[in-house]
Amino acid sequence: MDVKWGSLGQVALVSFGATVGVVVVFALGVRALAARQEARAHGATGSAQGQVAGVCFTVCACAVLYGLYLIIPQFH
């Protein structure tokens, strides 16, 4: 019997890191979006918050593209 505990641990760590990373960045993006709306409601432009949100969502979009790259074997 040859259980690949090393690979198993690696899967666990990478999955955990990727999940928490992507979800936290997305949550920051959503939070910035909400802050932008609030700023606008108070008469400010909220453009700084808007930019933060844009950066966060771009990072998440890249993660999705990387996921697609992993799923589609033609890219390898």
Partner 1 sequence: MDHITFLVSMVIVTALAFDFTNGFHDTANAMATSIATGALRPKVAVAISGVLNLAGAFLSTEVARTISGGIVADNLVTPGMIFAGLIGAIVWNLVTWLLGLPSSSSHALFGGLIGAVWVGAGRKGVHFNEVLDKILIPAVASPVVAGVAALAATYFTYRLTRRSDGDTVAKGFRTGQIASASLVSLAHGTNDAQKTMGVITLALISCGALAPGSGPPVWVILTAGLAIATGTYIGGWRIIRTMGKGIVDIQSPQGFAAESASTAVILTSANMGFALSTTQVCSGGILGAGVGRRLAEVRWGTAGQMALAWLVTLPAAAAVGAVAASVVVHGGTLGTVLIALAAAAVAAVIVVLSRRSPVDAGNVNDASTVPVRQVANAKAGV
* Burial of residue 42 (number of CB atoms within 10 Å: 0-12, 13-18, 19+): exposed
Please say which residue, 13 or 45, places its beta carbon nearer to partner 1.
Answer: 13
Q: Please report how close the Cβ of residue 74 comes to partner 1 at its closest, in angstroms.
A: 7
* Nearer to partner 1 among residue 8 and residue 44 (C-beta): 8
Query: Phi and psi of 4, rounded to 5°?
Result: -85, 80
Contact footprint for partner 1 (CB under 8 A)? 1-4, 7-8, 10-12, 14-16, 18-20, 22-24, 26-31, 33-35, 37-38, 60, 64, 67-68, 70-74
